[in-house]
Amino acid sequence: LCGSPPNTTFSQNNGIIALTKCASRSAGFACAGWLIFIGLFGKVGAAMASIPMPIVGGVILQCFTMVFVAGMQILGPLLKVRRNSFIVMLSLAFGLGVAMEPQVVAANGVSSFYGKNLDHIYGLWPRHLVCDEFPKVETEASPSSCAVGNNAITVSEADCTLIGGTYTPAVTEMVETKTCANKNGNCCKKYNKGMDSLRTSIILILKTPYGIAVIIALVLNLILPHEKEEEDDDDEPM
pLDDT tens readout for residues 17-41: 777 788 888 988 898 888 888 888 8
- Confidence at residue 111, expressed as pLDDT on a 0 to 100 scale: 58
**193-204 burial: b if 16+ Cβ within 10 Å, else e:** eeebeebeeebe
Residue pLDDT, tens place only, 123-133: 888 888 999 98
Out of 27-36, 143-152, 224-233, pick the least confident: 224-233
Between CA 222 and CA 219 the distance in angstroms is 5
Task: Give dist(CA 198, CA 169) in Å, integer.
Answer: 47
pLDDT at residue 2 greater than cutoff 60: no
166, β-bridge pairs = 147
Work out the pLDDT band at 1, boundaries 50, 70, 90: very low
Q: Are 206 and 213 in contact (CB under 8 A)?
A: no
Among 15-24, 128-137, 150-159, the minimum mean pLDDT is found in 15-24
Residue 66 pLDDT > 50: yes
